[in-house]
Every structure is written in structure tokens, then in C-alpha cells.
Amino acid sequence: MLDLVWLLVAIPLVSGLGLLVWGKEADAWGHLVATVASAASFVLGVVAFIELAGRDADDRSVTHVLFTWIEAGPFHVDMAYHYDPLAALFVLLITGVGTLIHVYSIGYMAHDERRRRFFCFLNIFVAAMLTLVLAADYLVIFLGWEGVGLASYLLIGFWQHKPSAAAAAKKAFVVNRVGDLGMALAIMLMFAQLGTTDIASVNASIGSASTSVATAMGLLLLLGACGKSAQVPLQSWLLDAMEGPTPVSALIHAATMVTAGVYLVVRSNGIFDASEAARTAVVVVGLVTLLVGAWIGCAKDDIKKALAGSTMSQIGYMMLAAGLGPAGYAFAIFHLITHGFFKANMFLGAGSVMHAMDDDVDMRHYGALRTSLPITFATFALGYLAIIGFPGFSGFFSKDKIIEAAFGYNVWVGLGTLLGAGVTAFYMTRLMMMTFFGEKRWRDEVHPHESPLVMTIPLMVLGAASLLGGALLAGDWIVDWLEPVVGHTEHHELAIPALAMSAIIVAVVAVGATLAYLTYGRRPVADVAPLDSQVRWPVRAGRHEMYGNEINEALVVRPVQHTTRTLVFLDGRGIDGFVTGLADRLGEASQALRKPQNGLVRSYALGIFAGATLVLVALLAVTLA
């Protein structure tokens, strides 16, 4: 079976492209084929996982070369996959959550005339994402990396007739390309330094290169990771990406694609282990993003954007954990998986709410929805409890471990993560209160109704996973499972026992939740957002996404526009002006020369005589001299 892992990619790819080319006849059944393809990948993934788990711990890795992709001189890239415990977990997450979201979308997109195309893009996304995690070569990762970027572009801009959606899609792609610049340069550096871009060889032999090379490589990869995972400073695209259909937000912009950056860092553990500086950069980026994301999450009234801020923040946690080195890799992946469950769950829940509210996303128009949408409410609540880290839920275990490890690394970093946990509790409670509790603030003609089963069943499954995902940590299973890939070392001993640590975290979470309850649960919520001038600066900054767009605008967009305009002008007037100017001068010179050609025979004759005389005089002068 492990020789057939490529089928995981091939099935959704063929189904996606096939349906795209098939045309209108496939409209009626295309979505079913796509869902079955995704499910088939999931089943294969489970079978492969079981087979892998059945092997000895040191034998759990298969590399299989399909064909040579590029070969020229010393440059050699194989189209090969590398199936190991890390890849196996990702395969399950991607195909599992992916299939659930396919099912959900059958209901969500039922009335969209371009539904078939939506499912094609979803399938292509699944194939690209699987390529990314199964790749055995950095260049093949890059193939998947840009493939998911393309799918993300197509899906964010799925409703192309909306200019905002088209703009968001374009922005996502371009910002990601900035990250890709880093990744491309990192791969070139690998080739120039080590002569190979094979992941295993690069990570094994990076130690023989100098630390500065490892640092450069690590920082370039981090730039790539920042782009894909919406980490500061390349975070600005994620909130705009919420223009896409909600299942897309759940699958791509919460559960899977945005975590690719974390995957990249963990997968490149050899490089990051070799450079302290690169690891520190990862921690700093993670910490900043986790706080910025949480801050934004507190200020947004748009339910999807609040969740998107939360996603940024949670990926910040993962990134930070990955930056801790072997003490944190396993926990980064653990949080990534639990987050995949509960965030997908909540996004789909938000989709269900929007479905009920006629696609209104403003939470100030919600309120008291728990009675009209009982299933959505119940499953959303499971996700909510998981993300704030309510004891016993999956998020509790995964976040707890990261905070502990952060304290083991540095007290200030630890305090940052602790603060983040409190703020998470605040903004998620705020979201719950504004959406499901309080009084009705519905607009007229809105009659909320529960979504059909095809949408609620995935919610229930993901809700259950949010509750039970913590089981992966039972007996340190996930740590042991990943150890052959990423290694593991215990973090430094903490000053206080782990149990007390957990108690402190829970207390901070309780404070955050209570504050939110007091602000939004006890007091009525205004159904029109206060103006920017009426709120204090932290809220204002949060609403404007910490002015990320304004900064980009001032630092990048305007200068580029300005340069472009100047260059176009200079090209016409300067370079081409020089050429046409040369032609004009030649023209003028010939204008001057045509004056003597006046057509008068007698003046020509005079010229001839004058010339002849001149020649004569010259001859005489020469002979006489």
C-alpha cells in the first residue's frame, strides 16, 4: 500500500481537472464525484496510516521516486514522495477535514450555478496540499505550495463578480508571492550550498555548512512560511480572504493551507536546529502574530474576520512552538491538528449561521440564535470550549503544552502566550455572546432556520473531534509518533509544577471569559457599530487590522505605483525618446540639406562652376607648391 501513496494525490487531481474539462454535463453530479474522490483519498490515507503504524518506530518512513522531474547538469529533482509519521498525520487531517467540508459544501453551495467548478477547485486544492506534505524535495514542496496558493486564489475569488472578492484573491496571491520569493531563494541557496534540494539530504547535511548559511536558509524559509501562514509582516491577506465562500475559509484559511508554514518549519527541523538565530526569529514572529491576531479578533464585528484574527493568533502559537526546536515541534503539530478540528468546526458553524441570516456577517445583527439554531449552537460551543482551552477539551491540552514549553524557553515569551490565552477567551466569549446569546437584533425579513443535515453532520463530527482531539496526547502518543521525524527533548524544568501551571492558565482564561461576559453578555449590544471616533485607540487599531494595509500601502503599493508610472513615462520619453529623437534630428538635418535643392537649373550650374573652379584652384595650388 505504501507504494501507492501517490494515489492520494492523483485521485482528487484527476477528478478535479476531469470535472473542470468535462463541461456543463457534469453539473448535475460533479459535486458528488468530487466528494467521493476526496473520501477515497481519506480511506487510502487511513489504510496507509494503519500500515505505517504497524511498522517499527525506526522503519516508519517510505521514500518513493515516481519519475525524474528536472535533470540538467548537477541539478536533479525527483518527483518523489516521502511518507512518514508527520506526513501521515497531515494526510489524515487534510483528507478528513477536506471530505467533511466537501460534504458540507454540497448543502452550502446547493444554489450556486457554478457549484461544479467550486468542487473542482476544492479537489485541486486537496491534491496540491497533499503534494505539499508528501513531497520529498523542496522544489516539489514548492509545487504544492504554489498549487495551494492557486487554489486559494481561485476560491477566494470564487464570486468573481464581486470586486471585493476579486481584489482579495489578487492580494492573497501577491502577498503569498512575496513569501514565495523567500522560499525560492532558500531552495536556490540549498542547491548552491549543498548541491541538492532533497529534504532529507539538506536537513541531514546542513550541519556541515556554516551557521550563517543555516540562518540565511532558515530566515528565507521563514519568509515563505510567513506568507502562507499569514504571520506578521505578511498577515494582511488573511482577513480579506474571508471574501471567499465559508467552506473555503474553513478548509483553506483555517484548517489546512495556512498551517503549511508551520509544516515547513517543522519539516525543515534540521535547518532550524542548526541556527539559533533562525529559531529565535520564528519565536518572535509567532509571538507577535499571536498577540496581533488576538487583538484584531477582539475588535472585529464581522464573524468571519473575528475568526480569521483568531486563526492568525492560533497559528502564531504553532509557529512559536515550532521555533522552540525539538522541545516544541511535536506540540506545534498537536495544536495544528486540534486547531484544524475546532476552527474548521467554528467556521462551518459560522457558515451555518450566515446561511440562516441571509449571508449577513455582522455579529451586531445576530443575537439569541441558540434557540433557532440548536445544532449549530451546540457544535459551535464545543469548538468554543476547545479553543479557549476549557479543561478536558482538545485545545486545553495542546495550548497548555505550548505555554509550558514557552515558559521553559523564556519567561517573557511564556507570559506572552499566557496573555494570548486570556485574550483568546475574551474574544471568543464575545463572539459567542454576540451571536448566540443576548436579545435578537435581527434585521427585518430574516427568519433563521437550522441548516439541512448535509451541513450539520460535518459540524457534529468536527464538534466531537474538538472535544476528543486531546486524546492524541494520551500517553504522549503524538510525541512518540513524531519523534523519528523531529526528535524530542523535554523543555527546561519549570519553577512551578505542571499542574499549578495548568491551574494558572485556566484562571487566566476564566478571567478573559468573565470580562467578555460582563461586557457583552450582561449589557445589551448596540446593533450599529460605534463610529471609529467613538471608540478608544486599541479598538480602532484592531478594527483597522493594526494598520497593516495602510503600512503596506505606504511602504510598498504606492512606491511601486509611483515607480511604475515614472518608468512608463521614462520609457516613452527617455529611452524611446532618445531613439525617436535621433530620428527627428536626422529628419531635421535632411530638411536643412534640401534647401539648396531649389529646382533652379541655373543655381545648379553655378554650383557646378564654383566646384570646378575650386578643383582647378586646388590642382594649381598642388602643382605649383
Residues with Cβ within 8 Å of 202's Cβ and at least 6 positions away in sequence, in order, are 138, 190, 194, 196, 268, 270, 271
- Residue for cell digits 586646388? 618
Nearer to other proteins, 268 or 379 (CB): 268
Nearer to other proteins, 216 or 298 (CB): 216
Concatenated DSSP letters for 561-616?
HHHHHHHHHHIIIIIHHHHHHHHHHHHHHHHHHHTT----HHHHHHHHHHHHHHHH
Nearer to other proteins, 292 or 327 (CB): 327
In angstroms, give the least distance from the CB of 17 to other proteins: 9
Half-sphere exposure of 398 (CA within 13 A, CB side): 35
- Cell numbers placing 608: 557646378
Helix or strand or coil: residue 137? strand
In angstroms, give the least distance from the CB of 238 to other proteins: 17
In angstroms, give the least distance from the CB of 417 to other proteins: 29
Nearer to other proteins, 511 or 560 (CB): 560
- List 362's β-bridge partners, or say none: 302
Helix or strand or coil: residue 451? coil
Half-sphere exposure of 182 (CA within 13 A, CB side): 21
> Can you tell me the distance from the alpha carbon of 590 to that of 581, in angstroms, rounded to the nearest whole number?
14
- Cell numbers placing 402: 505550548
The amino acid at residue 118 is: F
Residues with Cβ within 8 Å of 619's Cβ and at least 6 positions away in sequence, in order, are none
Write a three-state SS string for 93-104. Answer: HHHHHHHHHHHH
In angstroms, give the least distance from the CB of 265 to other proteins: 16
In angstroms, give the least distance from the CB of 122 to other proteins: 17
Nearer to other proteins, 67 or 537 (CB): 67
Nearer to other proteins, 10 or 515 (CB): 10
In angstroms, give the least distance from the CB of 230 to other proteins: 17
> Can you tell me the distance from the alpha carbon of 279 to that of 361, in angstroms, rounded to the nearest whole number?
38
In angstroms, give the least distance from the CB of 488 to other proteins: 13
Nearer to other proteins, 496 or 610 (CB): 610
Quote the distance between the C-alpha of residue 342 and its chain's center: 18
In angstroms, give the least distance from the CB of 292 to other proteins: 23
Dihedral (Cα; 544, 548, 553, 559), 10-degree rounding? 160
Residues with Cβ within 8 Å of 195's Cβ and at least 6 positions away in sequence, in order, are 74
Judge contact between 135 and 199, C-beta under 8 A. Answer: yes
Nearer to other proteins, 200 or 457 (CB): 200
In angstroms, give the least distance from the CB of 583 to other proteins: 8
Nearer to other proteins, 70 or 511 (CB): 70
Omega of the bond leading into 233 within 30 degrees of 0 (cis)? yes
Nearer to other proteins, 364 or 488 (CB): 488
Residues with Cβ within 8 Å of 22's Cβ and at least 6 positions away in sequence, in order, are 30
In angstroms, give the least distance from the CB of 274 to other proteins: 12
Judge contact between 351 and 104, C-beta under 8 A. Answer: yes
Judge contact between 474 and 392, C-beta under 8 A. Answer: no
Nearer to other proteins, 114 or 440 (CB): 114
In angstroms, give the least distance from the CB of 616 to other proteins: 13
> Can you tell me the distance from the alpha carbon of 452 to that of 107, in angstroms, rounded to the nearest whole number?
7
